Amino acid sequence: MAKRAWDKHLVATIGLGFTLLQTMTAFAAPEISLDDSVAMALKNNPSISIAVSDKEKAAWGVKEAQASNGPSLSLNSSGTRGQSGPDLPSGDNFNSSIRLSWPLYTGGRTEALIEQAEKNADSAELGVTKARQQLKLDTTTAYYNVLQAGNMVKVNQQSVANLTEHLNQVQAQYEAGTVAKADVLRSEVELANAQQNLTKAQNSYDVAHAALNNIIGEPLDSQSVLKDELAYVQYDGALEDSIQQALSNRPEIGQSQNSIAAAKAGVKAADSGRLPTVSLSGSQGWSGPDFPGDDSNWSVGVTANWNVFDMGLTKSKIRQAETAADKAGQMDRQTRDSIELEVRQAYLSMKEAEKRIETSKVAVDKAVEDLKIAQTRYNAGAGTNLDVIDAQLAQTQANTNYTQALYDYNVNKAKLDKAIGKN
């Protein structure tokens, strides 16, 4: 009797504790929807700030490349004190100058470098879109993980409650002398196992919530109430349509095209080594014993340079650039194939989970009915304790399969949204 009372007390304490925790959380913590979570992640998660920093850096890279195509002005001044001869007194001498230089023609090198920088800037901007899409998927998956963990807590709570009720009935029949001690022991073992599973499920729930908080920028120990539920919303798009959307919308495709264009510009930059360069220069200088100098001089000139022979250095650079361009083209093909594979995997996994939702839902209804029959038969003395335990395990498994199917469907649907480039 003492053991039975202790079991009932332990089960009631575990169930009541979690229920109270959920109730206290509901009053103390704000409710957040999936859309709220995504908005918080986009605002707080550092991955977006990192992508924006890369974008700003690339934009300044364009400014740097453009600056090399314009004039530059430099100032120079020096002063010395000494003797110009052994019999002459010591004195000061100052030299000052202003120099202007302007590249007029670089064989296309400057233009090619500017084009490369612009393509890199375009890729960095697409990188922000890519980071947003990935963060949205990560947040959605983490949100669904919490919902799934919460559902599994409920499944295991139901299992503990059913087995507790069954143990009470078995104990009563044992005390009445209608069943053997083995039935009591087996029922106690099954209840203990169910309690273990409930403890694990509660821990998984806490871990999943901490992971979600980490993504959306909330304190890890905060307990928000999730407003949404795992539900089935049919996806009507066809596989081929999804693939075409992905090839049109994914930022990786744009980045790959920019890489090809930048590599071709690199070929132009390397090829410029075979062409002449022309630059304009002008200077104004002053020299003398008084700063900045009493004597002035000036000069204006145009300089042309043509590297006629360099031991194959320019040719080697051109070949390297052409190889890089070929590589960029192959990587573009690889990117497209990877995106199509990603779409197919997400789409087919979503459809597979969709089929499991219906079959597992039917199994849940049948498992509930089977458990009721087994309990009724056992109480009437027409069934065995093993029949009830097997029916309870079957019901727990059916509930687990159903909630897992819902989770798999929603997660793969979110993966598909990301795979087709949905913002």
Q: For 2-15, how does the pLDDT look when each residue is reduced to its tens digit (9 = 90+)?
A: 444 444 444 445 45
Distances (CA, A) of 226 to 26, 31, 199, 271: 9, 6, 21, 60
Residue-wise pLDDT tens digits, 183-226: 999 999 999 999 999 999 999 999 999 999 999 999 999 888 99
Identify the pLDDT of residue 295: 75
Q: How far apart are CA 365 and CA 98, in angstroms?
A: 90
Give the predicted TM-score (pTM) of the model: 0.84
- Cβ atoms of 400 and 152 within 8 Å: the answer is yes
DSSP for 261-324, please give it.
Answer: HHHHHHHHHHHGGGS-EEEEEEEEEEEESSSS-SEEEEEEEEEEE-----TTHHHHHHHHHHHH
Task: For 2-69+107-274+312-419, give the CATH class.
Answer: mainly alpha
Residue 95 pLDDT? 85
Tens-place pLDDT, residues 216-263: 999 999 888 999 999 999 998 999 999 999 999 999 999 999 999 999
Domain limits, the chain: 2-69+107-274+312-419
